[in-house]
């Protein structure tokens, strides 16, 4: 049998083929990572459920947004940029927190009361009964709505960070980041979260007037 | 005897392109790994608002999208300019959301069905009316974990 020499395959067009594939993938795929404000909706209204206990007015931080994107916070007309500071003040309940002994928070009658709660690592501490209530109009723009939501989340995050910094020498976001590596850090993060729980309640939508 | 040879007509050797396919393949694999397939064609104008406190959605496979906004220019003749809901590739009404939720759930493995995040991609100029309606529908369908899709920014301006 005569041995035939096999000629080498011409690989010159390989680059062209690869380029073709590359361009195909560049066109059909996207790279954007989606992110945003993560929220939990309340479960669907249950007609048989008993109406919740009445909440003391001083524990509620009321935010109203009207159709002209104006804010009414606790009966006061303010700008969105002022909201964060106001919300922070309210969430803390008492500017001297945590060195407060008074559960009823008598020295600040317009701020929420405290209750004693057991928290990991720190034991029994005073936890504010704060609730933020947000109500918007059907005509409010989505942009404004997100701004308000964002400011509220920012207020919670800042307070948690400051508190964690004081107590543990690390900000809350650092604690959360490192919580996977160590159990004790995860517990600390949990404690901060329990002391300042995110309670943003959105009122059931009401339809008022036309449009 | 000259040390300097005259540069005659002798052409330079061609650049070796043998490694070109390797380079291109490398790029190709990079893009295949880092990107994901475009699933829907947007039929609505969709500029999400900006926010500072953004959390990233971890698992892409566990996210379903709901788009809300005005129809794009090319479709405004047929559909008008009122904001609409887009599910997958078509305009839908809010009554279709319940079914959409069920369908999206059934696409996933049983254990993951309750972990789906519903990402609302809403145009920033939309009014809250339609968004609230969608949220109520999601509540009815027991799809409670939602995400208001927004872009990262450093500062909120008034």
Q: Which domains, and CATH codes, for chain B?
A: 50-152 (3.30.420.270)
pLDDT of the residue at A7: 82
CB proximity B49 to A under 8 Å = yes
pLDDT tens digit string along A113-123?
888 888 888 88
- Sign of the four-CA dihedral A96, A111, A165, A193: positive
Q: Is A150 helix (H, G, I), strand (E, B) or coil?
A: helix
Category of B69 on φ-ψ map: left (φ > 0), alpha (ψ -120 to 50) or beta:
left
**Closest chain A residue to the Cα of B127, Cα to Cα:** A141
Assess whether pLDDT exceeds 60 at residue A71: yes
8 Å CB contact between B52 and A156: no
CB proximity B93 to A under 8 Å = no
pLDDT class for A26, splitting at 50, 70, 90?
confident
pLDDT tens digit string along B40-93?
788 899 888 988 888 888 787 888 899 999 999 988 888 888 999 999 888 999
pLDDT of the residue at A210: 45
pLDDT of the residue at A211: 43
Are A34 and B124 in contact (CB < 8 Å)?
A: no
Are A25 and B35 in contact (CB < 8 Å)?
A: yes
pLDDT of the residue at A205: 65
* Nearest residue to A21 (alpha-carbon basis) of B27, B108, B135: B27
* Token duo for residue B155: 């500062």
Are A138 and B128 in contact (CB < 8 Å)?
A: yes
Q: Is B4 helix (H, G, I), strand (E, B) or coil?
A: coil
pLDDT class for A1, splitting at 50, 70, 90?
low
ipTM of the complex: 0.78
- Set of chain B residues whose Cβ sits within 8 Å of the Cβ of A42: 139, 144
- Set of chain A residues whose Cβ sits within 8 Å of the Cβ of B33: none
Are B156 and A35 in contact (CB < 8 Å)?
A: no
pLDDT of the residue at A151: 92
**B28, B136, B144 member nearest A22 (Cβ):** B28
In angstroms, the separation between the Cα of residue A146 and the nearest Cα of chain B is 7
Assess whether pLDDT exceeds 60 at residue A107: yes
**A25, A31, A150 member nearest B51 (Cβ):** A150
pLDDT of the residue at A49: 67
pLDDT class for A96, splitting at 50, 70, 90?
confident
pLDDT of the residue at A148: 92
- Distance, CA of A174 to CA of A176 (rounded, Å): 5
**Closest chain B residue to the Cα of A82, Cα to Cα:** B158
Spell out the domain ranges in chain A: 57-202
């Amino acid at each position: 049998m005569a041995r035939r020499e096999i000629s080498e395959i011409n690989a010159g067009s390989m680059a062209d083929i690869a380029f073709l594939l590359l361009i195909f993938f560049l066109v059909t795929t996207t790279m954007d990572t989606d992110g945003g404000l993560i929220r939990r909706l309340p479960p669907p209204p249950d007609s048989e459920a008993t109406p919740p206990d009445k909440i003391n007015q001083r524990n509620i931080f009321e935010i109203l947004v009207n159709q002209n994107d104006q804010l009414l916070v606790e009966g006061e007309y303010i700008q969105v940029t002022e909201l964060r500071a106001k919300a922070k003040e309210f969430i803390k309940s008492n500017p001297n927190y945590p060195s407060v002994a008074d559960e009823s928070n008598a020295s600040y009658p317009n701020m929420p009361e405290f209750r004693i709660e057991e928290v990991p690592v720190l034991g029994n501490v005073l936890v504010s009964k704060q609730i933020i209530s947000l109500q918007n109009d059907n005509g409010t723009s989505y942009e404004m709505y997100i701004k308000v939501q964002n400011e509220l989340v920012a207020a919670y995050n800042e307070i948690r960070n400051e508190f964690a910094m004081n107590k543990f020498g690390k900000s809350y976001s650092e604690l959360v980041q490192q919580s996977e590596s160590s159990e004790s850090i995860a517990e600390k993060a949990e404690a901060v979260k329990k002391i300042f729980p995110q309670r943003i309640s959105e009122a059931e939508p009401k339809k008022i007037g036309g449009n | 005897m000259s040390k300097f040879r005259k540069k005659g007509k002798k052409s330079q050797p061609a650049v070796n392109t043998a490694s070109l396919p390797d380079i291109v393949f490398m790029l190709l694999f990079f893009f295949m790994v880092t990107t994901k397939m475009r699933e829907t064609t947007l039929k609505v104008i969709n500029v999400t608002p900006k926010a500072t406190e953004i959390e990233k959605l971890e698992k892409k496979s566990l996210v379903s999208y709901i788009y809300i906004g005005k129809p794009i220019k090319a479709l405004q003749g047929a559909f008008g300019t009122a904001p609409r809901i887009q599910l997958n590739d078509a305009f839908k009404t809010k009554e279709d959301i319940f079914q959409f939720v069920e369908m999206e759930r059934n696409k996933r493995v049983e254990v993951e069905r309750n972990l789906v995040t519903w990402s609302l991609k809403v145009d920033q100029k939309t009014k809250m009316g339609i968004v609230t309606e969608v949220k109520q529908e999601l509540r009815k369908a027991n799809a409670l974990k939602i995400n208001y899709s927004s872009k990262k920014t450093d500062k909120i301006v008034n």
